[in-house]
Copies of this chain bind each other. A is one copy, B any other.
């Protein structure tokens, strides 16, 4: 299903209006989709209006402006009614398995049989989520990175009973709103991106705990080296280039044998009281003078700027080396 070729844009229901829910709502509205918001909060319309206005400044170019959003969004606190005529349902309830299982059981009874059911969970796979559903052929995980209207990655995970067609529809849907869906080939605890993040955090904690650097210095090291690199090329391409013209093959031949040894030397810190106290003290020193809203705004502004720069540079690069040489 290519959404672009359909005669009408899909009707989306977003369940939950927390940080992730609000990010999705902003993104979908910005792409001109009509969105029904299901939230138990009494002040949901106000929350959504405020959140969407704040978030919309970080949507990529070509997106609708907030004043164009208003006619596209509606609110329905009753879950059954909220999904009754939806094409796509995006669930962002708290990370509690039983809660989500009950939610999906109710959704699948009330939604149209062909509705695509997507969970933003970072924890559970579709087979767990759908345990109480009669039909889970349209159920998938689409795990975004926070905030989902800024960070492009969506990790997709199908369940044992997910139809291939539903997987394709999910991929097409996320692409249609400017995301980069990557389908995991098998389930794994915490999925891929968070595991990678956790691996880096472990060594970060080790370096701070050992007194090699402070929290602020560790952050500076990352942003000014590997972060910059990984925003542009992934770790394998980086090592492919590290091998020179011989590529990853050459790199593994000269340095690959040392990888195991290097890994053995990595830290395995424990989050004991002392470590936690050190991290909190140093984080207070590093960020304590700035408000949450201020830091979030800075993060999202910088991330949006990087994305825009990458898109522009990528376009230039794809024109070929001659034109790139003068960049």
Contacts and interface: CB of A to CB of B under 8 A. Distances in A.
Interface in A285-308: 286-288, 291-299, 301-308
A284 B252 CA distance: 13
A214 B203 CA distance: 24
B271 A182 contact: no
Nearest to A179: B224
Interface in A98-137: none
B248 A283 contact: yes
Give the copy number. 2
Contacts of A296: 241
A15 to B, nearest CB: 21
B226 A232 contact: no
A81 interface: no
A164 interface: no
B188 A212 contact: yes
A132 B193 CA distance: 47
Contacts of A314: 302
Given A195-B203, A310-B306, A212 B184 contact: yes
A165 interface: no
A260 to B, nearest CB: 5
Contact of A231 (B214, B227, B276): B227
Contacts of A267: 195
A202 B192 CA distance: 13
B219 A192 contact: no
B295 A271 contact: no
A62 interface: no
A196 B186 contact: no
Given A204-B236, A305-B310, 4 more contacts: A182-B220, A189-B265, A228-B303, A237-B287
Interface of A: 57, 145-146, 151-153, 155, 180, 182-186, 188-190, 192-193, 195-205, 207, 210-242, 244-245, 247-249, 252, 256-257, 259-260, 262-263, 265-268, 270-271, 276, 279-280, 282-284, 286-288, 291-299, 301-310, 312-314, 316-317, 321, 324-327
